Amino acid sequence: MRTWWNHLRQFDWRTGDVRRRANAVAISTVLHVTLAVIGACWLLPVSARPASLAIDTLWSEAASLESFDNQPLQVVPDDKTAGGDSLGQAIFLHTHSSTATDGLADMQEIGSFEWQEADVSAPQSLTQTVGLAGGQGEGEKNLKGSGAGEGNAHGNGTGNSTFFGLPVDGKRIVYVVDASRSMNHPFPGPMLTRFGRVKMELVRSIGQMTSEQEFFIVYFNDRAIPMPSRTMMPAVPGTQNMFLRWAAEVKADGQTNPEEALLLALTLRPDMIYFLTDGNFPYKVVENITKSNQNRVVINTIGFGEDKGEKLLRQIASHNWGDYQFIPGDGPES
């Protein structure tokens, strides 16, 4: 006959066995559920997984290319008939404000075209045209073209790209352009400010390049503001569109220090650099750039609006096989 103590021992043993089995089942369930979730995630198609984002760049913190997706900039055929080489294709730059401080809203037909009178009172969205190719010739609207490139028609006209009157020779071209606050100073003409006028000239110059040429734009103020590319880009409609759109978005602010931008330009191993500023800068910039120019890159310099940096700009040009050009505040438009 069992005593009450034996019954209690038997009950405790069975209870402990049940508890151990329950714990084992719980652990097994959690483990299997976890493995099932991991397996399901692994078997998901690639398109269902979130894309990773890798950033490995030293370039500008200015507007990224993604920010331009909502701006209707496109390359379209130009149906004008030209007497020389065809006007080929055109970039249509749509701006969204008629009060832009850099005058972009007032940009009219530029590039290889002469200025034409137009109604600039249209609200919000103005269309500007920049010829990408064209020779000497006269079209149906008496638009005279000059520039390098091939179009859809043929003729005897030829031409070359220029930047404020300086010929754009060579295959690899870098534009180093002042984007300091002083570039917001008013400038005669439809572009309203110095910076707006320079942006227009960038569009004109890059638009007139041949497809064999490559370009790069570096703005500067206190620091370098390079276009969002790690290499020189070919002067074809797609890249011209993309990076001229970026160039139009940059704002002028800060002080004038071109050294970082010029050193960056030299690392791209261009054939020619076009360096434009309206300000002054330390003499050490002349020394450092000249010493760093081991590849004998031609550096052309342009004083814009003011000549207070003329002496240093002339020295950079003369020490680096380039030419100096001055564009006065009330000077010619091109």
Question: What's the pLDDT tens digit per position in 137-167?
Answer: 333 333 334 334 333 333 333 348 999 999 9
Separate counts of helices (H) and strands (E) for the chain: 6, 12
Q: Please tell me whether the overall predicted TM-score, pTM, comes out greater than 0.75 for this model.
A: no
Residue 9 to residues 1, 2, 12, 16, 133: CA-CA distances in angstroms? Answer: 15, 11, 5, 11, 100
Task: Give the model's pLDDT for residue 6.
Answer: 56
Distance CA 95, CA 114 (A): 20
Going by the DSSP 8-state scheme, the letter that residue 260 receives in this structure is H
**294: how many CB neighbours lie within 10 A of its CB?**
7
What token pair was written down for 187? 């400038």
Mean model confidence pLDDT for the chain: 69
Write out pLDDT tens, residues 278-287: 989 999 999 9
pLDDT class of 37 with cuts at 50, 70, 90: low
Q: Say which residue, 322 or 127, is predicted with more confidence.
A: 322
Interval 235-252 mean pLDDT: 96
Residue 190: per-residue pLDDT: 87
Question: What does the alpha-carbon distance between residue 146 and residue 144 come to, in Å, rounded to a whole number?
Answer: 7
318: left (phi over 0), alpha (psi -120 to 50) or beta: alpha
Question: Phi/psi at 248 (nearest 5 deg)?
Answer: -70, -25
φ, ψ for residue 217, nearest 5 deg:
-115, 130
Q: What is the pLDDT of residue 229?
A: 95
Q: 135 and 147 in contact (C-beta within 8 Å)? A: yes
In Å, how far from its chain's centre is CA 197? 17
State residue 241's pLDDT score.
94
> What CATH number belongs to 65-328?
3.40.50.410
Q: What proportion of the chain, given as a percentage, has pLDDT over 90?
A: 47
* pLDDT given for residue 22 in this prediction: 61
> What is the band of 268 on the pLDDT scale with cuts at 50, 70, 90?
very high
| Domain spans of the chain, in order of start | 65-328
pLDDT computed for residue 261 by the predictor: 98
pLDDT band for 67, please (50, 70, 90 cuts). very low
- Does an H or E element contain 333, and which? none
How many residues belong to the chain? 334
